[in-house]
Amino acid sequence: MNAADFIDLVRQTRSAQKAYYKQRSQSNLQTSINLERQVDRALDEGIEIPEGMPKQLDMFALANAEKEKEDERQ
């Protein structure tokens, strides 16, 4: 599954969960459970992340790099 499909699936899941909590019907519960299972399956199988996607930065490394630049200026 690619990242865009996964994001769409998670949006559908959250929408179904909200619908269930708003009106606790058996139908809404089953829809929510089925979507949650699909999300779990996608996480188990892995998600294809495009090469151009920015990587999550390590906040400590970023803070240290900024401090080093500031120290160099002084």
Give the per-residue pLDDT at 22. 96
Give the length of the chain: 74
| Percent of the chain scoring above 90 in pLDDT | 57
Summarised one tens digit per residue, pLDDT across range 15-49 is 999 999 999 999 999 999 999 999 999 999 998 87
pLDDT at residue 62 greater than cutoff 80: no
Q: Give the max Cα distance, the chain.
A: 65
The beta strand positions in the chain, using DSSP E, are: none
53 has pLDDT over 80: no
DSSP 55: P
User: At CA 51, angle to CA 48 and CA 55, rounded to 5?
Assistant: 90
